[in-house]
Amino acid sequence: MGSIVARFLTLHEIARKARQNLDQGAWDYLVGGADTESSLRRNRAGVESWVFKPRILNEVTEVSCATELLGHELRMPVIMPPIGSIQVFEESGAAGVARAVQEFGLLQVLSSVCLPDFEALAEQYPGPRVYQLYLIGDQAWMDDIIERAIAAGYTGFCLTADTQTYSRRERDILKRYVPLSGRVAGGGDFNYQASMTWDTVAHIKDKFDIPLYIKGVATGEDAARCAELGVDVVWVSNHGGRQLDHTRACIDALPEVAAAVDGRAPIIVDGGFMRGADVVKARCLGATAVAMGRIEGLAMAAGGYDALMDAFTILEQEVRTSMALAGVNQLDQLTPDLVTKDVSIGPAHVLSAFPFLSEGY
Ligand SMILES: Cc1cc2nc3c(=O)[nH]c(=O)nc-3n(C[C@H](O)[C@H](O)[C@H](O)COP(=O)(O)O)c2cc1C
């Protein structure tokens, strides 16, 4: 007798299963933000406030959503961002993500506070892959890590610039949960993050031949400065609402950043993008690819590699369906005139992309 393999057919089911599998501490660590969580809610409210102005009667028999980012072929304009301690959600951790990303044809940005660590992961699943580093040592320490990342086959290096100090995650503090334990393994000091400046960016560009991603850009001014310094990828992010509270939604900063960068570098955006339609909106507003952090964590928590593969399959269907219904069959036809800002349709929160959860599904 053959067995029936239960697969997830909606992202709703993945979110529900993740909630069932995680204890309160891990769940709050995944879905929570900083302070009052207004940046977290605004990310989602922002994504929901952009609506389509679809075009009709265009031929959409064949829809292609494949793209590329600095030569990396992406089956859809989605990447998996760094999620520290992802092994908290499922034991395979970064290795499960690596396997799904390679199998499906996307790109993983590995956090420096993950297991397996960057060298062990590269041995298990050789690149391409981007390495995101938190500075827990001086410049000589950083240089050594970059050299080791290049030697291990990493195809990009990412500095997270919105975390110069660790925020107050009150959800965690209220229960005395300490997700940071183990983060600074090896005796490093997180305070080095605070010493990062534009000189650090110039130093890396000057000394190393590896594409540099700057993650945490929130304004056109800083985006222009990145482009002037030759930064290879400008990454619009507020860390999923987990760092500075009371920021704009990342999607609302995107048009300003796209104008400032003016084609000099590809743009990644993240923050509240939970569905295929959200990815399509980001492409309309100038992003090359969208990073989906909570989706990565929810899917890993729901069932590791298999659930993440299901999430990718569902997302790809959603992207293609949204493109066809908006009247386009190629990503480069997604332009700002296909979207507009509209009024909010209700309170947004981290799970408001899954409205049927509250109805008991
Ligand atoms: C549980 C969790 C851990 C994270 N850890 C890191 C990290 O180690 N490094 C980093 O640059 N960003 C980290 N982020 C931020 C994500 O890379 C990404 O910017 C964010 O999740 C995007 O927002 P979204 O979750 O709404 O998609 C983390 C996010 C979450 C939810």
**CA 271 to ligand 1 centroid distance, Å:** 9
Smallest Cα–Cα separation from 281: which of 342, 199, 357, 211?
A: 342
Amino acid identity of 98?
A
Q: What percent of the chain has pLDDT over 70?
A: 96
> What are 229-281's pLDDT values in tens digits?
999 999 999 999 999 999 999 999 999 999 999 999 999 999 999 999 999 99
The predicted model scores a pTM of 0.96
pLDDT at 361: 86
Mean pLDDT of the chain, nearest integer: 95
pLDDT at 345: 87
**CA 58 to ligand 1 centroid distance, Å:** 38
**CA 83 to ligand 1 centroid distance, Å:** 5
**CA 199 to ligand 1 centroid distance, Å:** 25
The pLDDT confidence band at residue 184, using thresholds 50, 70 and 90, is very low
Atom of ligand 1 nearest to the CA of 240: 23
CB 55 within 8 A of CB 337: no
Smallest CA separation from ligand 1 atom 30, residue: 83
Which of 29, 37, 83, 190 has the most ligand 1 atoms within 8 A of CB, as the residue to mutate? 83
- In degrees and rounded to multiples of 5, residue 324 shows phi and psi of -60, -45
Smallest CA separation from ligand 1 atom 3, residue: 83
72 is catalytic: no
The pLDDT confidence band at residue 185, using thresholds 50, 70 and 90, is very low
Cα–Cα distance for residue pair 253/237, rounded to 1 Å? 9
Smallest Cα–Cα separation from 272: which of 258, 252, 256?
A: 252
Q: What is the mean pLDDT of residues 37-55?
A: 98
Smallest CA separation from ligand 1 atom 21, residue: 293
pLDDT at 6: 72
Domains in the chain: ranges and CATH: 13-326 (3.20.20.70)
Atom of ligand 1 nearest to the CA of 30: 1
Smallest CA separation from ligand 1 atom 10, residue: 82
Q: What is the mean pLDDT of residues 146-162?
A: 98
Whether 240 is in the pocket of ligand 1, judged by its Cβ within 6 Å, is yes
**CA 108 to ligand 1 centroid distance, Å:** 12
Whether 272 is in the pocket of ligand 1, judged by its Cβ within 6 Å, is yes
Cα–Cα distance for residue pair 202/209, rounded to 1 Å? 12
CB 85 within 8 A of CB 177: no
Whether 273 is in the pocket of ligand 1, judged by its Cβ within 6 Å, is yes
Determine which of 80-94, 179-193, 332-346 has the lowest per-residue pLDDT on average: 179-193
CB 117 within 8 A of CB 97: no
Say which of 12, 239, 246, 349 is annotated catalytic.
239
Q: Is the model's pLDDT at 325 over the cut of 80?
A: yes
> What are 104-132's pLDDT values in tens digits?
999 999 999 999 999 999 999 998 999 99
pLDDT at 179: 61
Cα–Cα distance for residue pair 298/88, rounded to 1 Å? 11
Whether 46 is in the pocket of ligand 1, judged by its Cβ within 6 Å, is no
